[in-house]
Amino acid sequence: TNSSSGKMGFALARACVHAGAEVVLVSGPVAIPAPRGVRQIPVHSALEMRSAVFGEIGAADIFIGVAAVADYRPANAAEHKIKKSGNEMLISLTPNPDILAEVAALEKGPFCVGFAAESRNLDEYAESKRQAKKLPLLVGNLVQHGLGGDDNQVILYDDDGKHPLPRASKAALAERIVTHLATLLNRDGIPE
């Protein structure tokens, strides 16, 4: 788990609707109502999220992977509550699917936007992630600047370099991100 609130994803969904997009929001458990005009698919695990995304991705022109999906999950889920025994317990972990990487690797996939929340070395890690996943746009931030809060400070990374955005509300940042995304789409077009 992490302290991600889902606020950025919901703000982006709202901004995309304002820009005229038809939006499907695949969301983990949050305490935020879906924005008006957004079709929400609630999920409870990374595997459910992957399944929901791939159930919808064929009709998508754009995929924004903003969810803070855990990198790992328990390798074996217990059927019932594990009672405290006083003994030390070790839990084996297995990697969760990298949904963004899988979508970005699709042969006729949508235009992909990724997010990177890092604790340090943001420029290095964000650009490395963007290049490795072949993303046309990645939004990066330091976790100490925005996770769970109502505002954030982000940097947009694309083929033209990095574009820092000043600290603002997540709603205002979402509008700026969608405007930048629209500029890239108008220039480069939507993938066929």
Query: In angstroms, rounded to a whole number, what is the distance separating the alpha carbons of residues 135 and 138?
Result: 7
Task: Give, rounded to a whole angstrom, the gap between the first and last alpha carbons of the chain.
Answer: 36
Only one residue has tokens 């990645």, namely 138
Which is the catalytic residue, given 2, 76, 87, 152?
2
| Side-by-side strand order, sheet with 111-118 | 62-65, 111-118, 137-142, 155-158, 161-164
Residue type, 39: R
For residue 40, what are the β-bridge partners?
25
Residue 76 catalytic? no
Find out whether 86 and 65 touch, Cβ atoms under 8 Å: no
Find out whether 38 and 25 touch, Cβ atoms under 8 Å: yes
Largest CA distance in the chain: 61
Helix (H, G, I), strand (E, B) or coil at 89: coil
| CA distances from residue 188 to 9, 24, 45, 139 in whole angstroms, order as listed | 24, 23, 34, 18
Catalytic residues: 2
